[in-house]
Structure 1
Amino acid sequence: MKALDIEAVQAFVLVADLVSFTRAAEAMDSTQSAVSLKIKRLEDGLGRRLFERTPRRVRLTAAGELFLERARTLIAAHSNALDAFAAERRRLVVGISDHAVGAELPLLLQRVKRADPNLLLEMRVGSSRDLLAAFDDGALDAAVVMGHDAGRRGGEVLLAEAFGWMAARDFTHRPGDPIPLAAQSDYCGMRSMGVAALDNAGIPWTEVFVGGGVGTIAAAVSAGIAVAVLGRRVAPRDSIDLGPSLGLPALPPRDLVLYASLSDPVARQSLKTLAAAIRSTAG
């Protein structure tokens, strides 16, 4: 058996983690065809098929499952060997909008850490407005925020976030009553979007819960006490979009935008992995 190509092994692990050849290519700053070729050569060298591929799905074969943890160990050892000459530990400070992260946050962190085990990742979750201010002040290396400011340039659009009027499955609303809303403070962009949509449609509403973050808003939704404007991608898994059934106005999508200021190529690569992982949550 030939010696394993470490880049091919890295490509294999990224495809397995991101469940996508396209997202793995983004994380590696490569092309889908190049990643596919690396995987094909790795499979040929191992004499085993590692992935089952269909137009809509990628999944590990039994051989792929068996090889995955050993591949992770190999990559970690390779990274550790290279770090023998590193002057200092790499640090990456990233801010992410609280409207952009949900139950998948642990998975995002896991994927970034696996791609670079020696990276010191500092992550701050907050409002897009506060994170952009911190980024402009140099307190953040990168910020992943909702695109509110049409005049701001230089960001990379990661995905279009779709929003809905999210509520618990057993939520009930009597016709004619105001829509009970759960929202954040007045400066929250999502609150402003929802309230404006209701006002423009002439639909009465009342605020029944004010949260200190999207996590608390999601809790109010899951508790069945209110409806909230939340991204469908990050809304509680036990919630549904009641907009159509209640006759509520459609909500426009918002771009999720990455702003970055990095000179270290290794840190930039870790950020590419994070961006690809976020894109992979869109399905």
Structure 2
Amino acid sequence: MTDTMSSGSVLVTGATGNVGRAVAQHLFDLGQSVVSAARDESTQNVVIGTERRAFDFESPSGWPAAFAGIDRLFLLRPPALADVQRYMFPLIDTALDAGVRHIVFLSLQGVQFNTATPHHAVEQYLRARSAPFTFLRPNFFMQNLSTTYRDDIRDRGEIFVPAGRAHTAFVDTDDLGRVTASVLTQAGHLHKAYTLSGEQSLDYYEVARQLTTTLGYPVRYVAPDAVEYVRRLTEQGASADFIAVQKMIYRVVRMNVSAFPNRSIRRLTGAPATTFAQFAEREKSAWTRSRTTR
């Protein structure tokens, strides 16, 4: 296996989500042939100019067609998919059998300390298969605050996560898209693992202060304990698998594993990481309140 640039196509899983769209967009901007994989092939929620292909992690019969002509893969684990041995291991086998020669896997920061996570199992399987991998281990996404926790912020004016006073060096998914595009188009990244953090380390009290400044209404950090957090997720209808993964993730956060900023994004892309203030200003429409919540 050679570590060289490729002229083939890249399959981007999760292409309708925050990370997948950013990856597809930056690859497309670099002139790459990009295939946006989505459960619904007719979806319009993919990057314009990319090829759309039907792809479902839980439908193995469609995988061979999805990998036709593909030599690079951006692989992420859907949050609701906890049984990676049943679905993701066979998917990796299919990709390798189809001739994919570089798999960039979106893993998790601190995965080496949290071996119970599905991400750790996928990393271990890729190593066991001697696959041509690169692991991206990002810190918490800024976009979690504008998607998963958007309603809590917009409707209640609160951030409700069990992080305690721990700090986090948040990552913008657009920066992650830039990193992935660089890794998939430049030599020197096979069998590497990159820990990706922002260049600022903030606790959630500071995040709440910055959101208050940007949004023009008060946002506070509640700092629930793990039991209160699980109760809230259950009330919101989250699945048991999703809740289990979130509990593991925030256990790592409270250990301050996510607190340390670095310049990996700058080093891999040539540009600095997005600051939280820049992100909040760019995405503030996500938290815009209706008249009834003002």
Larger-gyration structure (1/2): 1
Output the TM-score relative to the length of structure 2. Answer: 0.29
More relative contact order, 1 or 2 (CA 8 Å, 6+ apart): 1
Output the TM-score relative to the length of structure 1. Answer: 0.29
- The structure richer in strand per residue is 1
